[in-house]
Amino acid sequence: MNRRSLLLGGLTATGALLVGWGALPPRSRLGSASRAVADGGVVALNGWLKVTPDGVVHLAMPRSEMGQGVHTALTMLVAEELDVPLAAVRLVPAGPDRIHGNVALFVASLPIHPSAIDAESPAAVVRGSRWLVGKVATELGVSITGGSSSVSDAWDVLRLAAATARAQLLGAASLQWKLPVADLAIDNGIISHPSGPSGHFGEFARAAAATPATGVRVKDRKAWSLIGTAAPRTDLPAKVDGSAVFGLDVRRPGQLYAVVAHAPMLFGSPGRADTAAALALPGVERVVRLGRYAGSHEAVAVVGRTTWHARRGVQALDVEWRGPPAGHPDTRELIDTLERRAREADHAGGGFAFHDRGDILAAHAAASSRHEAVYRAPYLAHAAMEPINCTARVADGRVELWAPTQFPTAARAIAAQVAGVDADDVTLHVTYLGGGFGRRLDVDFVGQAVRIAIETSGRPVQLVWPREEDLTHDFYRPAAVAVLRAAFDADGAVSALSVTSAGDAITPRWLERTLPLLAAVDTPDRSNSEGLFDQPYDIPHQRMAHVATHSGVPVGYWRSVGHSHNAFFAEGFIDELAAQAHQDPLAFRLALLANQPRHAAVLKLVADKSGWASPLPPGRARGVALAESFGSIVAHVAEVVLVDGKPRVVRVVCAADVGTVVNPGIVAQQMEGAIVFGLCAALHQRIDIHDGVVQQSNFHTYRLLTLAETPRIETHLIASERPPSGVGEPGVPPVAPAVANAVFALTGERLRALPLML
């Protein structure tokens, strides 16, 4: 039994013994009609669905919409099962009910190799660990949007909720008309019988709520008419006509505005502050000192009648900023330290081995040749287009929030903590998010907004972070370094692959900030090694280990998390091995994927659609990369030219297996967005910290891809009958290695550090 099996087995046994859940039946996630309050004639059929008197279906929506199309996708699942038009399903806030928690996200966080999950008979320790984590997640009911898990989590429960409601409605109509259920049909929300009777859902809803559901069965995929189509996004009209409400759009009677100012250096704090000049300005209401809330830095906020007044007030402050007692981090030293730690662990067989098979030492010793490389990735900021913001009102022992958050559970919790009220006394309105990318999984800004609102005598206040505050006080994607070594046998085949990486562990730091009750659970953070330990390539001897560090730099989840840089490490090195073996990079990969038909199919599709075998004009080259993340397999072929000596990507062809495709139009949009997002980071972005001060302050120093630099993007999807897997993040990981491999093909220079610079 290896260390990972021991860990997971202990988790299962300890959970069953301490919590005593081993003999308990699974809790239903459908909820009951009594949980979903019916008012104004609206009838609740279960904890997810209500029906209005005019036949409109209300769906409780627990996931945040940040451009990824989740509101449309989940609406499609319900509309399909109920046979109603997409427009007949309206979204309502889900509220804090445990049935709306995200179970799939937590199950996917287990450090289990995909081969063990996909096996026909997974080991008992794997089954037990997944069952236990799913059980805990169901009981906790944590409402969160992340990990590209929204559709996969809803796939069974929402279709079942709709199918159950359908059975109840048909049953009610059958009783009223005294006709067999089997003879009734639903079309566009109208129940009918061939003999003539018909009526919409609203006419049967009240009776349906009291009618037991029998013969509940979700539709066979052959009967689908909506799932699998490029249905228009449900959020598009409001975003086009300007009626969509993002966090910054919130306007409440008597609303004030606040702007925050943090210390120039990370984890600095305000000392002496002269506020007289700021308070003397017209429109400035007050100055509020802010402590630390859910990992936030100490700060000062100025409250004004408008954001402009508050911003002027901040500029007029005279604050003596104090540095942190623990010293000032410097990225040059931190990354050098990461490389030293990774090399030491690689030499000594140290670090936590997330995957270990065969005899890596013997394979290296017997090798006819060897190859080694060191790869590096920098800290990165999220830089979502909508600045950090939250609107809060504290009055009469209650808190009301309007927040663009990915994590409603934690937002309510920090608001209650700061205001000194129960979580039940916090009302949260989740607005649209102008981008999340993981930044809004943290709720530091919610705690700050509530603290300011306590000082505004019951008036709502909207807190806004200027872009400079956002970039210089983020929870950054950790820097990472990996030492990769491979061995070739006498036949020229790759016999061994070892990877030892080093970088800060995200999950322990994030749990400390947002879910402190779970922070004491001491388990390895799979996000450190994902994309390395779970590679699909058939290499007999492997060891994938990670050294978890704690640099003191605030770190958080960034789009595709560890895969974002580990795919660059892995796929760049695989390309190096192909070159060492004097083989075509695509053919080399396919030879190592003989036992992985899904991965091979994705590679073959991207090769075909990109014209891999056809020659390119002089001065242009292709690179390929493959990565599995969040249950999906994505391959990119990037075509690169040099412009003024710098790489310019002119075309990206994407092939993906994301399981069942709910909406191919949205999947294509997400792949396009992920490719642009990945190119920004691969070509331009890094966070440098010198003497504790982040050097990048706005988009002039933290560049985005311009329209002129944006390549032509093509997306091709594999047909699959597997359940849906992730879409929002899996398009990012293959971007950087595909571009780097193209640069090598074009110039002969191997780039092993991000961002890519010749």
CATH number of the domain within which 724 lies = 3.30.365.10
- Strand ranges for 505-645 from DSSP E: 541-549, 621-629, 632-643
Q: In whole angstroms, give the CA distance from residue 442 to residue 369.
A: 47
Quick check: is 17 in a domain?
no
Which residues, including other chains, have CB under 8 Å from residue 450's CB and lie 6 or more apart?
Answer: 293, 392, 394, 399, 401, 414, 415, 418, 419
Tell me which of 240, 273, 293 is where a domain ends: 240
Domain limit, last residue, from 205, 240, 275: 240
Angle between helices 124-140 and 3-19 (to 10 degrees): 50
Residues 721 and 582 in one domain: yes
How many Cβ atoms from other residues are within 10 Å of residue 118's Cβ?
11
Q: Which two tokens stand for residue 217?
A: 């069965």
- Tokens for 518? 């779970």
Q: Say if residue 529 is in the same domain as residue 515.
A: yes
Domain identity same for 416 and 529? no
Question: Do 424 and 357 lie in a common domain?
Answer: no
Cα–Cα distance between 170 and 185 in angstroms, integer? 8
Domain span at residue 178 reads 31-102+141-240
> Rounded to whole angstroms, how far apart are CA atoms 135 and 15?
10
Nearest to 657 by CA among 716, 705, 738: 716
Residue 444's pLDDT is what? 98
Distance between CA 639 and CA 321 in Å, rounded? 48
Same-domain check for residues 252 and 307: yes
The C-alpha atoms of residue 445 and residue 294 are separated, in whole angstroms, by: 9
Is residue 435, in this structure, part of any structural domain at all? Answer: yes
376 and 396 co-located in one domain: no
> Six-digit token pair at 534?
């779970």
| 10-residue stretch averages of pLDDT, the chain, 758 residues long | 38 42 60 66 94 97 98 98 97 92 93 79 80 88 97 97 97 97 96 97 96 94 98 97 98 98 96 97 98 96 98 98 90 97 97 96 97 98 98 98 98 98 97 98 98 98 98 98 98 97 96 87 88 96 97 97 98 98 98 97 98 97 98 98 97 98 98 98 98 97 97 98 98 98 98 97
- Identify the H or E element spanning 176: helix 150-177
493 with 523, same domain? yes
At residue 410's C-alpha, the angle toward residues 107 and 419, to 5°, is 160
- 647 and 707 share a domain? yes
Q: Is residue 752 part of a domain?
A: no
Could you tell me if 443 and 430 are in contact, meaning their C-beta atoms sit under 8 angstroms apart?
no
| Packed helices 597-610 and 585-592: angle between N→C axes, nearest 10 degrees | 160
Bridge-based pairing state of the strands 426-430 and 318-322: unpaired
391 CB-near residues (< 8 Å, 6+ apart): 247, 250, 252, 255, 401, 402, 403, 449, 460, 461, 462, 463
Instruction: Please choose, from the candidates 299, 296, 269, the residue with its C-alpha nearest in 3D space to the C-alpha of residue 287.
Output: 299
Residue whose entry in the numeric block shows the structure tokens 């979204």: 91
Per-residue tokens: 506: 């995200």
Q: From 443, 522, 501, select the one nearest 142 (Cα to Cα).
A: 443
Q: Are residues 234 and 342 in the same domain?
A: no
Place of tokens 């590209």: 148
Domain count within the chain: 3
Q: How far apart are CA 503 and CA 756, in angstroms?
A: 20
pLDDT of residue 7: 40
Rounded to an integer, what distance in angstroms lies between the CA atom of residue 542 and that of residue 740?
Answer: 24
Q: What is the pLDDT of residue 125?
A: 80
Please check whether residue 665 lies inside any domain of the structure. Answer: yes
Check residue 351 and give its pLDDT.
97
Output the six-digit token pair for 240: 């086009």
Rounded CA-CA distance 101/144 in Å is: 7
Same-domain pairing of 593 and 531? yes
**In which order are the strands placed within the sheet that holds 299-304?**
284-290, 299-304, 256-262, 461-464, 389-395, 398-403, 426-430
pLDDT value of residue 117 = 77
Residues 303 and 186 in one domain: no
| CA dihedral over 399, 402, 404, 407, signed as positive or negative | positive
Residue 270 lies in a domain: yes
Q: 415, 441, 464: which is the final residue of a domain? A: 464
Question: Looking at the domain assignment, is residue 432 inside a domain?
Answer: yes
Residue 1 has what pLDDT? 30
Q: Is the peptide bond before 180 cis (omega within 30 degrees of 0)?
A: no
Cα–Cα separations (whole angstroms), residue 371 to 486, 489, 573, 580: 5, 12, 9, 8
| 159 inside domain | yes
Counting beta carbons within 10 angstroms of the beta carbon of residue 516, is it exposed (0 to 12), middle (13 to 18) or buried (19 or more)?
exposed
Residue 16 lies in a domain: no
* 658 and 535 in a common domain: yes
